[in-house]
Structure formats: structure tokens, C-alpha cells
Amino acid sequence: MAATVVRGQNVDIRMWTRPDEVEEFAMRQLQNISALPWAVKHIAVMPDVHYGKGATVGSVIALRDAVSPAAVGVDIGCGMTAVRTSLTASDLPETLRGLRSRMEAVVPVGFGQHRATAFTERDASDWAAFWRKFDDLTPAVKARADKALHQMGTLGGGNHFLEVCLDTDQRVWVMLHSGSRGIGNELAQHHISVARTLAHNAELPDPDLAVFLAGTPEMAAYRHDLYWAQDYARRNRAVMLRLVCDVMRAEFPQILFEEPISCHHNYVAEETHFGEDVLVTRKGAIRAGRGELGIIPGSMGTGSYIVRGLGNPDSFESASHGAGRRMSRNKARKTFTEQDLAAQTSGVECRKDAGVVDEIPGAYKDIDTVMANQSDLVEVVAKLKQVVCIKG
């Protein structure tokens, strides 16, 4: 669909969804974002848009010489990784419970962490240099070094997941969704708090939209910590993927893996749009430059898409990061039961208890509608349906 233009305050708002389908609080946030004096051209709103802290989830914001840490989100570098295997559905056992259990045994979920460090030279060759940079992060996180070490290669909770999927050709894929874990969250919270204290943010309509300005020590400190956390998130997914692929190799000795696809969807990038060098924040959005591969997941009982970007300039070459929530976690818990969860995840080997009812497919927007709304942003490469889903 073509974007709908809504008049903003400093810049307009381009939406790849119907404005009347956006919740009131999220629309108010978008208006607040459009008032930022550093905003360039317009705000791009993805079809999975929903309310978030400071900035809406599903928003793409290009700022001139400024960046808002809340427009990145607290899970810095959160994103997706997927890999297609040589297996087909016929290679999988009749029951997948054992495979799920072995994967859960190697990848800690929820608040879990590894007892010993899980990363190896197979994941990256520069671990020593990467960890040395921890000492240069803000002193506010210095006590978290050991936790960061042992959370490397862990899934977390909430909407993070690890899945085994089948595409429409019955090929088996491994896919996972996670970010920078506790260390990324603490870095984000620290810098959001710092930004709120700066004088140039005093008149903003929402204090959580506070920005750092180019050329200031606060901006330099944030970007230093931000890029480290984005790297942490990328490495975290790589370690988990290797751990899970090792399980698959042990289970299926004949298996081969193609080149993984990986993308952030909570991050900052230095890019050029409409002839201007800008800092782009994608919060709940992936980069979808022409020809670039990306991953757009649905919910734990529906399916996901591998996509190729079309490079639409009006979206700042972006697309949605998933289906997007249509109700809060609290409302989902009050609305749905364990029986509803079992029904909506029928055929998927996964948790079906009260602890994950807030992740039920009914709490999310329809992924196929989301995809239809962004047909001018991406083209579909493959549609996946999970047969195993692991959540914290």
C-alpha cells in the first residue's frame, strides 16, 4: 500500500497503516516525535506500529546532528538471525519434544545465563579485543562485566524466541530473536536518564524523547556505548546460532547450513537520505535497502517472512520488524487462557503454560496484513512456519 500522510508539527508522518488503526497513545507519541526540531523530511511509521517508551515501536526517525536514545529502545541491537538448512520436513522425527529439550539445554532462556562462558573462536576471532572495550563503557555498568560475559549466548524472555521452521518447500530453517541482554538495557537506561537532564531538552513535549547533540561529550559517550552494545547483540545471536546448529549437527549428521541472514531492528545507523547525512534510529524496524535480505517474524503460532528490501526512499529504506503487538501483556493475560494458547499454537512444539500467555498469537497483529501493507517496502523471499518455538 502507499503510505498515508498525516500532518505533523515540525515534519509530517508517513504511515504504512491506516491512521485509525493506530492506538491513541501511539499516535500522540508520533506527533511528539514529529515536533523534534532536528527531524529531517518526515517520520516513517511501519505497519506494526504500537506504543513504546518515548518513541513508538515501528518508527523510523532521521535526525540532523542529534539522536534520541529512546528512539532506539532499551534492548539495543535487538534483532533476528535465520539460516536455511539442507534438511526437509521428512528428515525431522515424528515428535520434536526431544529436539526442543536439547536446544533448551544449550541456550539459557529467561533470566538464565551460562555457568561458563559460551563464546569461542568459532563465533568470532577477536573476543579479547571486544571484551577489553568493556572497560571503556560508562562507569555506571562497571559492576556488570561478569554478568555480560555469562549472558553472551542467551535468549532472554518476553518476545525473544528460538525456532525451527519449515518454508513452503518444506526446507528446515533455524531462526532466533534476541538482543544485547541486560548490559544493553542498562546502557540504554543510563543514557536516557542523562539525556533528560540536558538543558536543550527542557521544552520537549515528552522528556523521554530527549536527544544528544553532535559535538558534545554526552553524544560521544552514548554513541561509543551504543555501538558496543549493537556489536554485543550481533555476537550474542551468532553464539546462540552456533550452539543450536551444533545440536542440529549431532541430531542430523548429514545437515548442511547456508549463509545466515541477520538484521538489527533496534539500532542507530549513519546514513544518507534525501541528500543529507543523518542519524537514523530504527525502533522496531529493519533496514530494507534494495536487495538487502531481512527477517520479519510473526508470533509463536503463526509464521514469519524472509524478505528482500525494495529500497523505498520514503521509508528511509526500512520495513517492519514483525507483526507488532495489538494489546498489552497485561491485557493479553486477562483476555486469554492456557487453553486459548494451546489452541492457537496447535502443531507447534512449545510452552503452552500461563507463563507465556502474554505471547499468544491473538495478542499480535495479523502478520499477513502487516506484510500486505508494506508491499512497496519489501518483497517476500520465503514464508516460514514454526514447528518448534522456544521462549523464556
Three-class secondary structure assignment of 147-184: HHHHHCCCCCCCCCEEEEEEECCCEEEEEEEECCHHHH
The answer to whether 50 is a known catalytic residue is no
Find the mean pLDDT for residues 110-120. 96
Q: Give residue 170's region: left, alpha or beta (phi > 0; psi -120 to 50).
A: left
pLDDT score of 1 more than 80: no
Pairwise CA distance, residues 100 & 104, whole Å? 6
| % residues pLDDT > 90 (the chain) | 98
pLDDT at 53 over 90: no
Q: Which amino acid is at 326?
A: R
- The SS3 of residue 191 is helix
Give per-residue pLDDT as tens, 232-289.
999 999 999 999 999 999 999 999 999 999 999 999 999 999 999 999 999 999 999 9
Q: What is the pLDDT of residue 392?
A: 86
What is the biggest distance separating any 2 CA atoms in the chain, rounded to whole angstroms?
62
Active-site option among 150, 190, 273, 321: 321
Angle among Cα 384, 229, 165 to the nearest 5 degrees reads 10
Query: If you average pLDDT over every residue of the chain, what do you get?
Result: 97
The larger pLDDT score, comparing residue 372 to residue 2, is at 372
Cell 493506530 belongs to 22
Closest CA to 306 of 254, 381, 229: 381
* pLDDT tens profile 157-190: 999 999 999 999 999 999 999 999 999 999 999 9
Residue 222 has pLDDT above 80, yes or no: yes
Distance CA(29)–CA(50), nearest Å, equals: 10
Model confidence pTM above 0.85? yes
What pLDDT, on a 0 to 100 scale, did the predictor assign at position 280? 98
14, pLDDT greater than 90: yes
Number of other CB atoms surrounding residue 112 within 10 Å: 16
Q: For residues 389 and 383, what is the distance between their CA atoms, to the nearest angstrom?
A: 16
CA angle, 379 then 49 then 55, to 5°: 125
Count other C-beta atoms under 10 Å from residue 267's C-beta: 27
- The arithmetic mean of pLDDT across residues 365-378, rounded, is 97
The yes-or-no verdict on residue 315 having pLDDT over 90 is yes
Reported as a pLDDT band with limits 50, 70 and 90, residue 25 is very high
What is the mean predicted confidence (pLDDT) over 348-353?
97
Neighbouring-strand partners of residue 15: 4, 45
21-33: string of b/e by CB count within 10 Å (b at 16+)?
A: ebbeebbebbbbb
